[in-house]
Structure 1
Amino acid sequence: MRIVSILMAGTAIAMAAPAIAQETAPAMQGAESGEAAIIVTAQKREQNIQDVPVAITVVSADQLASVGGSQLQDLTKVSSSLTITQGGDLNNNVIVMRGVGTSAFSVGIEQSVLVMVDGVANGLPGQGFNDLDDIERVEVLRGPQSTLFGKSASAGVISITTKAPSKTFTGSAEVLVTDDDEQRYSASISGPITSTLGFRINGSVGRFDGNVRELQSDTMVNGRDSENIRAKLHFEPSSDFDATLIGYYNKTRTDCCSFVTIERTPGVTSSFGTPSSVSLAGITPGKDNFAVRIDPFQTADSESYGGSLAMNVALGSHTLTQIFAMAHYNSQDLSDFDGAFGPGFGQPNGLTQGGDFKGDTLSHELRLTSPSGNPLQYVVGTYYSRNNNQRTFVRPGPIANANWAGRTTSETVAVFGQADWEIMQGTKLIAGLRWNNEDISFRYQRFNSNGGNPPFATGGSTSDSVITGKFGIQQDLADDVMAFATYSRGYKGQGYDLTSSFVRPTHPASRPIQPETADAYEIGLRSSFLDRRVTLNLTGFWTDYSNFQSQTLEPGLGGSFILANVGSLR
């Protein structure tokens, strides 16, 4: 794919225009060489990446633009340990870190990799896949991060920071066009309103028709359209207090994913009862095939909106931070379940399925951060969140039919803290703990009979408390050379597997799957040479997963897939 990008930017200083006091923290300058240091917040404080005992990949806005990046999936082009698999709708996308992730059809199951935007955890399944707009940087944290980031970070964290209001009036516009006819238009404006108040607004529109041709209608599919807007207000009346208010809206429409035929099994003359002469008419199976015949089109429309308020207050030499956030997400999807064109399963268009999803989340974090530069540095805090997810689903027809509605609710309370203590010159001990309590519940109603199982309604609830932690040692070996060794435990909570396989009240989904834990051991080296112009960072890791949560085939349910604990993984 070739990319043509046009960037226009301007800066203006209005007559007597005041400037706000602060924007996103710039890269700090090296004390000796003048080379800029990369600043990250992987430990919930600003630090030089070379001083942080965590495996991190930092992606700048320029790096993302160089690969035509506009979506979360594009991070895989610049972070080799990250894989993102696209599903039929955003709720079914899967994030995999170091080869580990969660693939589940249920609305009640969380990811193993947490996506955060401006310090706020995305607690809804599809919410983390909004477009990457107006990005300052992205931090990809590999390995369990549950001590500081909570129960949805058992495999890692993707932390996205968007640009802050600027000190002077600025504006920019960008047009991106690719040779496969993807188009993206974005613009932003920023500046001061008063001497203590600044703003930033950005918006974008993306259009991509797709890369697969549906022959029956002569239409391109596997495309994506999106519209996004984000607004920020930053208020800083003094050096002891600042507040940032953020609001956003996103709308996305996809017609993905239609799977092409790579190989035709010898002797097979039909697909779900449709003769191959019909379903494969005009299609030559092979690796270069980009044509399908399906009905109806795969579609998924999603909408999300929300906001957050972050405040920082100086308490002596410490900083008290609170972040309050609310978000709503909804989607509607329709898919061609049999993946073929023509009648089948007693239906004129074959086996089709789809439904609605709605989710609401509320969260609040309060933390106290000690000043940097002391022998003892620490952060302590509390966290609360509440998620409410609802799903309706219909698969009509006399065969393999389904018609159900499900709802899950989770409420989480946590207390956490982490400290590093320099016990002697160049030697630090690291210790952190998190207590997490979660209450979850579900309601499920099946409206149709299936395989002799009558309609039913059921529900349940459970709770779980756990302590996770991180311990380690960090040693300075020389100027700009640091080594570390750490142990950390990751945790992913219980969940109910609400899917079409839930065909009777005694189904395994009526009982929660058990929590998944990860015990990770890491050693690493962080080093800079030649006056900090050459960087060599190495990390080795070993992770043991227990009660690993995964989709598995259940023979007792007619070969249906269910989510279950499948044992250990390393």
Structure 2
Amino acid sequence: MLMGSNARWWAAGIVACVAQAVIAADTSSDTTSVQSTDSSNRRMLEEVVVSAQKVNQSSQDVPISLTAVSGDFMREVGATGLQDIAPYIPNVRFSSDTDPALAQINIRGFGSNPLNSAFDSSVGFVQDEIFFNRPSYYNEAMFDIARVEVLRGPQGTLFGKNTIAGVFNVTTKGPTEELSADLRMNKTDPEEVSLEAGIGGMVTDWFGVRIAAQDISRDGQLHNQFLNRQDDKHEQNAQRLKLLFLPSENVSFELMGVTSETSANYWGLQLMNLDEGSSDFLKNYDPNIEGDPYNFTSSYDQDGFLDKTSDTLGLKTDWDIGPVGALDNLNMVLVLADTALTIDSLVDLDTSPANLAVLEVVSDYEQQSAELRFTGTADSLFGLGSGVEFVVGAYVFDSRFSQATKITTGDDFGAYLLTDDALQLVSGQTNVSSGGLLGGLNLAGIGLISNLTGALIGEDFFRLDYLLNVDAQAIFAQMSWALTDQFIITPGIRYSREQKVADASGEGVCRTAALGTPCIMESALSAEDYDERGLSRKESDVSPKLAFQYYLNRDTNVFLTYARGYKSGGFNASSFGGEDLSFEPEEAATIEAGFKGEFFENTLRLNAAVYQTEFDNLQVLAFNGAFFDVTNAASAISRGLEMDFMWLTPFEPLSIAGSLGLLDAKYDSYPNAPAPITQGVNAKQDLSGKRIAFAPEQSASITPTLTLPLFGLAMRASVDYLYQGNQYTDGDLDPNSYLKGFSQVSARISLGSTDQRWAVSLGGSNLTEEKVLNQVLDTVFFPGSYNARQKSGRKIFASLSFAW
């Protein structure tokens, strides 16, 4: 139980939920439901159709907490990726709105740190029914979107093992019955140009096609004063082709091909809180160096970059079999997919103008998968009840991931060794000092020291090689059984098994090794040579689900759902000594109670739920003063409330949408957690009972929209108020990573045709120019200083959209 103020918070949350439920409620709503009219010209909310249970159904009939966002809403707010819509979704957080590779997504406070590629993502990503098992896919091919469904809580029954915190289920547009086309052009200040276009339809009675493309060019906001470039400059272009074949009335084949290329300067971090010794040392390389993380200014000496390419091929077969025995509407779906992702990156590891260390990472990923499922209905189950809907299927998955990591010693590393920072790392005590002796030696001859040591050291690096093969299979089943016209029970279960085989090695390479002298970088990382091959682990899991749903009337229902999730263990991809390579699987169990309702003649849709989730063996990254180790925290617990609504007000031109998330996520037991570096290298602390990172206490949004006729055209104006509460942004809960609650305001106005075929829009985000840090991490070489990632500043955009 929660005590003291937390008890009052929890009680207040329940009271708020119950109070809203008196009016109405639900956890699955569309933040972008649009107005429609019936035959009497009465305004109504459109039905939101989702595929959260592997069949198309109204979101109001799904007994889980979800939010659906339409592609039209994404285009309206100028979103170029999922990170741009996260602020509108309760209890969802992206750790970066600019990083094209290291996407960390947290739902209800839980997610996986992408800095270690051994981790599977806790938040699953599915696009066009294909499950992608690498977090880098979150930034791939996010265009021509029809709908995004965010499913909160474990979704292991229908979506698989690595969906322990939730799922982003994305659907893109396909060929339409009639030929149609749409085009959207965005121009943003600071400089960003994006173009998105799609065209397609049925060419004949049996063949249809849709072609879509996206091109983004972003100059970025983070200025590198040392290299005189933008460190977050970003370019991406992607294309998608969908071919639809209808050989008969009840069989369809959809073939899809997607390709994407991304090129970016890398990475978007700034130094923060430089102490006097670190500042004096770095001023030898850049006299203007400073530790202000809020000024969009960096100072790297390395031309960091990231190049990323992905190619995906998918085939979906849909066979409407029809009645079979006692079954009605039997349908078969087969989804085959093959995808490949390549990332080549180089970053300035010390994030400073000194040439201390360069990190190079090259990774290749290949994945093949197949899902076969059957859906159907029956009048009853063994003569009991008033109807049954079911889904049953099998899933196979095979992947291969290889990564080569190289950490190279820079020419200035010898000069760095004559600093208090180096002394602190070697001693393990961040409060030790040479009393100015090392600093005096350094400042007196830093150029000479760098030249001499650079020539002496020569090529010196530590290399990590990692290869992981995954082979997994699963069978699953779920049914919705209507015991009466009002009471529905939904049991589900998934059995999965998986085998992982890995090779992991680390090796120091240097000129001085031949003389029996340890390599500089290997010593600096406290690393050792190792070569572990044929590492293997086999796991199996049973993920059950049980939901009870009761309809108070046709438009309102309440539900209670229990679900269990599972994320497999694995092998550390970034071990520096070959010890403790293995980490254990993660498990979660959640129970949530919610309401779904539509009121006032379908002009108000109001949704709410309360939940509690318990995690065991939480997989975490721990910073050891030099790099990140993989560990399992004992347990964690998350409690909260989620609510969103859409209201067509009695004042006909005005509609209002909004959301609210309350989150209390804590470590239940974590006695040997990493302590902030200020307490010493490899220091430990007890985080039991403490709040976990990336878990804002509150999140909220409200968007009033006014639609008015103007000179025969339609004018539409919206304002967004977005709020995110207090939170930590580093796993060791360092006070310097604490982020106070903040709010941001966005707005937009558009003018277009009444049939919405074209529109011209002007808008902006973060109009009040709030300066916010999205993430704060310890630096590798400067104990007590930090790397910070700043959220995007104010942006103004103009856009032109056209649909035919």
Place the TM-score, normalised by the shorter chain, in its bin. Answer: 0.7 to 0.9
Aligned pairs, how many?
Answer: 527
Find the aligned partners of 1:172 and 1:231 in 2 and give their Cα distance.
15
Partner SS, residue 636 of structure 2:
coil
Find the aligned partners of 2:342 and 2:98 in 1 and give their Cα distance.
15
Task: Rate the CA distance shift 1:521–1:279 in 2: closer, same or farther, 3 A.
Answer: farther
Q: Residue type of the partner of 2:566?
A: Y
Q: In structure 1, what is the equivalent of residue 278 of structure 2?
A: 270
Contact 2:66 2:152 in 1 (8 A): yes
Q: In structure 1, what is the equivalent of residue 462 of structure 2?
A: 402
Contact 1:187 1:202 in 2 (8 A): yes
Describe the superposition over 1:422-446 as per-residue Cα deviations: whole angstroms up to 9, x where unpaired. Answer: 1123001110010000000101232
Find the aligned partners of 2:540 and 2:93 in 1 and give their Cα distance.
30
Contact 2:561 2:593 in 1 (8 A): yes
Q: Residue type of the partner of 1:353?
A: L
Q: In structure 1, what is the equivalent of residue 531 of structure 2?
A: 457
- Aligned pair partner of 2:367 in 361, 365, 368: 361
Pairing 1:387–2:399 present: yes
Find the aligned partners of 1:421 and 1:277 in 2 and give their Cα distance.
70
Equivalent runs, 1:220-235 vs 2, <5 Å: 220-235=230-245
**5+ long unaligned stretches in structure 2:** 1-33, 323-328, 380-385, 414-459, 509-518, 638-804
Find the aligned partners of 1:301 and 1:522 in 2 and give their Cα distance.
42
Find the aligned partners of 1:103 and 1:361 in 2 and give their Cα distance.
21
Contact 1:104 1:551 in 2 (8 A): no
Deviation at 1:321? Answer: 0.5
Pairing 1:562–2:657 present: no
Task: Rate the CA distance shift 1:56–1:90 in 2: closer, same or farther, 3 A.
Answer: same
Deviation at 1:477? Answer: 1.2
Q: Percent identity?
A: 25
Describe the superposition over 1:106-153 as per-residue Cα deviations: whole angstroms up to 9, x where unpaired. Answer: 332200001111010012341232141101010011111011000110
Find the aligned partners of 2:36 and 2:567 in 1 and give their Cα distance.
36
Q: Residue type of the partner of 2:174?
A: A
Task: Rate the CA distance shift 1:519–1:27 in 2: closer, same or farther, 3 A.
Answer: farther
Task: Rate the CA distance shift 1:60–1:454 in 2: closer, same or farther, 3 A.
Answer: closer
Deviation at 1:270? Answer: 2.5
Find the aligned partners of 1:239 and 1:29 in 2 and give their Cα distance.
32
Find the aligned partners of 2:38 and 2:620 in 1 and give their Cα distance.
46
Deviation at 1:263? Answer: 3.9
Find the aligned partners of 2:164 and 2:537 in 1 and give their Cα distance.
21
Partner SS, residue 222 of structure 1:
coil
Contact 2:113 2:119 in 1 (8 A): no
- Aligned pair partner of 2:544 in 463, 469, 490: 469
Task: Rate the CA distance shift 1:362–1:468 in 2: closer, same or farther, 3 A.
Answer: same
Q: In structure 1, what is the equivalent of residue 67 of structure 2?
A: 57
Deviates more, 1:233-242 or 1:483-492: 233-242
Deviation at 1:537? Answer: 0.7
Partner SS, residue 126 of structure 1:
helix
Contact 1:27 1:39 in 2 (8 A): no
Contact 1:327 1:362 in 2 (8 A): yes
Q: Residue type of the partner of 1:548?
A: L
Q: In structure 2, what is the equivalent of residue 345 of structure 1?
A: none
Q: In structure 1, what is the equivalent of residue 310 of structure 2?
A: 304
Q: In structure 1, what is the equivalent of residue 600 of structure 2?
A: 530
Deviation at 1:85? Answer: 1.8
Q: In structure 2, what is the equivalent of residue 85 of structure 1?
A: 95
Q: Residue type of the partner of 2:587?
A: T
Task: Rate the CA distance shift 1:546–1:484 in 2: closer, same or farther, 3 A.
Answer: same
Partner SS, residue 161 of structure 2:
coil
Find the aligned partners of 1:65 and 1:310 in 2 and give their Cα distance.
27
- Aligned pair partner of 1:432 in 481, 492, 516: 492
Find the aligned partners of 1:436 and 1:118 in 2 and give their Cα distance.
22
Q: Residue type of the partner of 2:468?
A: T
Q: In structure 2, what is the equivalent of residue 334 of structure 1?
A: 346
Describe the superposition over 1:487-517 as per-residue Cα deviations: whole angstroms up to 9, x where unpaired. Answer: 1001101111111x3323xx101xx311101
Flag the structure with higher helix content. Answer: 2
Partner SS, residue 258 of structure 1:
coil
- Aligned pair partner of 1:519 in 581, 586, 589: 589
Q: In structure 2, what is the equivalent of residue 478 of structure 1?
A: 553
Deviation at 1:41? Answer: 0.5
Deviation at 1:282? Answer: 3.3
Partner SS, residue 552 of structure 1:
strand
Task: Rate the CA distance shift 1:27–1:564 in 2: closer, same or farther, 3 A.
Answer: farther
Contact 2:274 2:290 in 1 (8 A): no
Q: Residue type of the partner of 1:183?
A: V
Deviates more, 1:129-138 or 1:300-309: 129-138
Q: Residue type of the partner of 1:391?
A: Q
Q: Residue type of the partner of 1:498?
A: A
Q: Residue type of the partner of 1:260?
A: Q
Q: In structure 2, what is the equivalent of residue 121 of structure 1?
A: 131
Pairing 1:502–2:573 present: no
Q: In structure 2, what is the equivalent of residue 320 of structure 1?
A: 332
Task: Rate the CA distance shift 1:332–1:57 in 2: closer, same or farther, 3 A.
Answer: same
Deviation at 1:246? Answer: 0.2
Deviates more, 1:96-105 or 1:396-405: 396-405
Instruction: Identify which of structures 1 and 2 has the higher relative contact order when contacts are C-alpha pairs closer than 8 Å and 6+ apart.
Output: 2
Task: Rate the CA distance shift 1:77–1:173 in 2: closer, same or farther, 3 A.
Answer: same
Partner SS, residue 497 of structure 2:
strand
- Aligned pair partner of 1:165 in 170, 175, 196: 175
Find the aligned partners of 1:105 and 1:171 in 2 and give their Cα distance.
40
Report the aligned-residue RMSD.
Answer: 2.4
Find the aligned partners of 2:472 and 2:559 in 1 and give their Cα distance.
32
Find the aligned partners of 1:305 and 1:80 in 2 and give their Cα distance.
32
Deviation at 1:180? Answer: 0.8
**5+ long unaligned stretches in structure 1:** 1-25, 343-348
Find the aligned partners of 2:376 and 2:285 in 1 and give their Cα distance.
65
Contact 1:376 1:422 in 2 (8 A): yes
Q: In structure 2, what is the equivalent of residue 96 of structure 1?
A: 106
Contact 2:271 2:352 in 1 (8 A): no
Find the aligned partners of 2:256 and 2:339 in 1 and give their Cα distance.
12
Q: In structure 2, what is the equivalent of residue 441 of structure 1?
A: 501
Find the aligned partners of 2:174 and 2:38 in 1 and give their Cα distance.
23
